[in-house]
Structure 1
Amino acid sequence: MFLFHGVGLRRGQVEVAAVVVFYMVAALVMVFVNKAVLISSPEIPLLFLFAQLVIAVILLHVSALLWSDKVKLPESLVDLEKIKKLAPVVIVNAVGLIFNTLCLRGVEAAFFQIARGLVLPMTIAVQALHSDEAPASQVLWASGIVTAGFILGIVPPSMSTPFSSAEATILPASAIPSSLSLFYGLLSALFIAIHVVLIKSSLPHANNSTLELAYWSNAGSALILAPFVFLTGEHIALNDLVHGTLNGESHWNWSVFLSGTVITGLFGFLLCVAGLLSVKVTSPVTHMFSSAAKSVLQTLFGVWLFNDVMTVYGNRAVSILTITSGTLYYTWIKASGAVKIEKVAEPRLAEARSKWDLEAGSESSEEEDERVQHRKESQ
């Protein structure tokens, strides 16, 4: 039991809060550094993503060397049976990352989460199909509120009556997302929803280790992405950028690309671990609603760092308010135990958790059983 301003908190609650905050910080850094690089080098998005994945794999190997007693990587990379079982989650991860990057390239950073607004209902739908259990009505209401907020952000200001105004309808061309970018966002949302549910069912095939699953996801996604870098001609585009810069014919900001690649590679590694831990410790729906809260912060930082457009009286401001309201409502549902959130098959945390995963000390069997029972009731 922990005390925070006089309020008693279970260890499980502290773990969930710590993992969610860790995930949100890593995700925000990734989005904004990614956006900065894609602004400076829009011609090579897949090459940029490939470099991130390679760096993440290298960092996992370095971690295994430095903390060999805690970080366990796959003993064999040619285990065909394991590759076959993990192929779905790896393929979905790779495709989702591609559409995610293409969507971010075409929209403002503040608009990024709005463009992927259907991720919440899709996650609930995929989870319901996977578990054969219908979501609770309160969860659907909370999801509906959050989804309405995302939809408000997508609808053109001139159509979002009564919130539209002359000030809201005057937007620069760069602030208006293209239909293709929104389509990429839709596909990204779909694959994110599928990936979130697949993570828990894939953990047993990775020895119940989030880091081992992270390794397979990053290495496998890099292998899948490599041929597309050549098929799309991005290696030629990179060559043209380098030669143009050396000859003084272009003004490619290569320092932003290189530094951004290193930073996003590092935080991509952290984000992969944070995302896996977030889904493992919490439920998939809780994970997605923490993403919704992150989108609010992302919008505010986008306006501050990139001068993204957010009209005070337009639908984007109303979108943020609606998203926040839906998130707070869902948080109240979880905290009060008003409903039993639908359950997705997951390994028992006491058996599944590796030494690396949020282990702060030993627990008695009574404390562990109580915490597992509390988690089952909350789900």
Structure 2
Amino acid sequence: MDHPPVEKPPPSRLKVTLTVLFHSACAIWSTILSKSALNGVDAPVTLLALQTTIQVILLTTIGTFTGWIKLSRPASAWWSLLPLTIARLVGILAKTYCLASVNASVYQIARGLLLPITLLLSLLVLKPRPYYPPLSLAGCAMVMGGFGAGMAADYTQMLTSGKGVLLGVGSSFTTAVESVVVKRFLGKSGEGMWQMVWMSNCMAVLFYLPLLPLSGELATTADIFLGRSQEAGGRQFLATAMLTGVSAFLLTIATFMQIEVTSPTTHMIVTAARGVAQSSLAIVVLGEVLTTDRVGSMALILGGSALYGWAKDRHAQSKQSPKGNYLPLTNTEPKDDSENKESR
């Protein structure tokens, strides 16, 4: 006789808070380091190949020692994680190419369509289908306005190229897909979180082998490793790439942890909110310029994200029965777990 699966209790607020803070710190550190490396040598695929290789080494060492990773898995297990691997690979490629084409201080503005795209994909993919109150849709509209105004101002002032704008849109879409796909795999895959991260990164390394020559970076990569690079930042690129490998390792773990304890939309809101700290560090560390238009756009994006989150939380609170009121048992409706989870 089959027993129904036991539902996991929702994570505590402390766990959610600590996970979100850990993810934000890793993401900001990784972005600043990656942009510093790309400022020296424009080789995004080489940077990602090095990052992923270091991640595999760290994951294998730590996972084998702790017993969290099994090195021998059946072919069916690897094949089942192929969609997850491709979604994550395309997502990180789009983010890195976008970062290479825009300033780190405007990176979050360029990816400002992450909220509306995530909402749309969640409606199409996730079950049960989430509900969005009208006020949350107004917040979404603010975010879209911030993206449009910021990108238009940067493009007009020739601070960001058309390529950077397109890559920002593409990066928003692929990151939204990655978030939703990871959420679905965490709920249905029989593999643990560490096992999924390790297996997807191992497969990603194999994908980088043909991507290096296809991207035209193979000669640049060889010159860097053989010490023939004429680039002034060749050695710095290699050293920084090693550091980004460690930061990417921490960020990968943090991303899976955050998506596991939050909803895709909450994950996206945190991604937008950390843009303020990231922009500030880019100005201080990388010497980038902060314009009034960028400040206004960032304010619209953050304000819209906050309005969306507040509206969703208010809707979830209204779904619960008010304390002190006695309702007939026949009129009592069960709580919607998806709404409660979405409000975190």
What TM-score does the superposition give when structure 2 sets the normalisation length? 0.83
Runs of 4+ residues over 6 Å off in structure 1: 372-375
Q: How far apart are 1:200 and its partner, in Å?
A: 1.9
CA distance in 1 between partners of 2:286 and 2:233 (Å) = 17
Q: Does 1:187 align with 2:170?
A: yes
Counterpart-to-counterpart distance in 1, 2:50 and 2:200:
14
Q: What is the correspondence of 1:251-290 to structure 2 with a 5 Å cutoff?
A: 251-290=231-270
Kindly report which structure 2 residues correspond to 1:61-76, keeping only aligned pairs within 5 A, or say none.
61-68=60-67, 72-76=68-72
Does the 8 A contact of 2:82 with 2:200 survive in 1?
Answer: no
Distance 1:290 1:201 in 2: 19
Query: Who is 1:308 aligned against?
Result: 288
1:125 and 2:126 equivalent? no
> What are structure 1's unaligned runs of at least 5 residues?
1-9, 160-170, 342-371
Q: How many residues align?
A: 314
Secondary structure in 1 matching 2:257: helix
1:75 is displaced (CA, Å) by 4.5
CA–CA distance in structure 1, aligned partners of residues 204 and 188 of structure 2: 17
CA contact (8 A) 1:136 1:340 kept: no
- Measured in 1, the distance between the counterparts of 2:339 and 2:191 equals 19
Which residue pairs with 1:23 in the alignment? 23
Of all paired residues, the percent bearing the same amino acid is 26
In 2, distance between residues paired with 1:269 and 1:242? 22
Residue of structure 2 equivalent to 1:365: none
How far apart are the structure 1 equivalents of 2:102 and 2:190? 39
Q: Quick one: structure 1 residues 158 and 291, their matched pair in 2 at CA, closer, same or farther if it must change by over 3 Å?
A: closer
Deviation string 1:264-313 (CA, Å, 9 cap, x unpaired) is 1111111011111111101100000000101122222222222222223x
Q: Does 1:86 align with 2:69?
A: no
1:141 aligned residue (127, 138, 142): 138
Shift of 1:207: 2.9
Deviation at 1:66, TM superposition (A): 3.4
Structure 2 residue identity aligned to 1:53: T
Whether the aligned pair in 1 keeps the contact of 2:139 and 2:307 (CA below 8 Å) is: yes
RMSD between aligned alpha carbons? 2.6
CA contact (8 A) 2:40 2:231 kept: no
- Residues 155 and 162 in structure 2, CA contact (< 8 A), matched pair in contact too: no
Q: Which residue of 1 aligns with 2:323?
A: none
Alpha-carbon separation, structure 2, partners of 1:74 and 1:281: 24
- Inter-partner Cα distance in structure 2 for 1:323 and 1:187: 18
With 57-66 and 105-114 compared, the bigger mean Cα shift is at 57-66
- Provide the secondary structure at the position in 1 that maps to 2:60: helix
TM score, norm. by length of structure 1: 0.76
- 1:294-305 counterparts in 2 under 5 A? 294-305=274-285
Q: For residues 329-372 of structure 1, give each alpha carbon's deviation from its aligned partner in whole angstroms, at most 9, with x where no partner exists.
A: 234345xx31139xxxxxxxxxxxxxxxxxxxxxxxxxxxxxx9
Matched residue, 1:53: 52
Taking a change above 3 Å as real, the CA distance of residues 24 and 133 of structure 1, as seen in their structure-2 partners, is closer
Counterpart amino acid of 1:111?
A: V
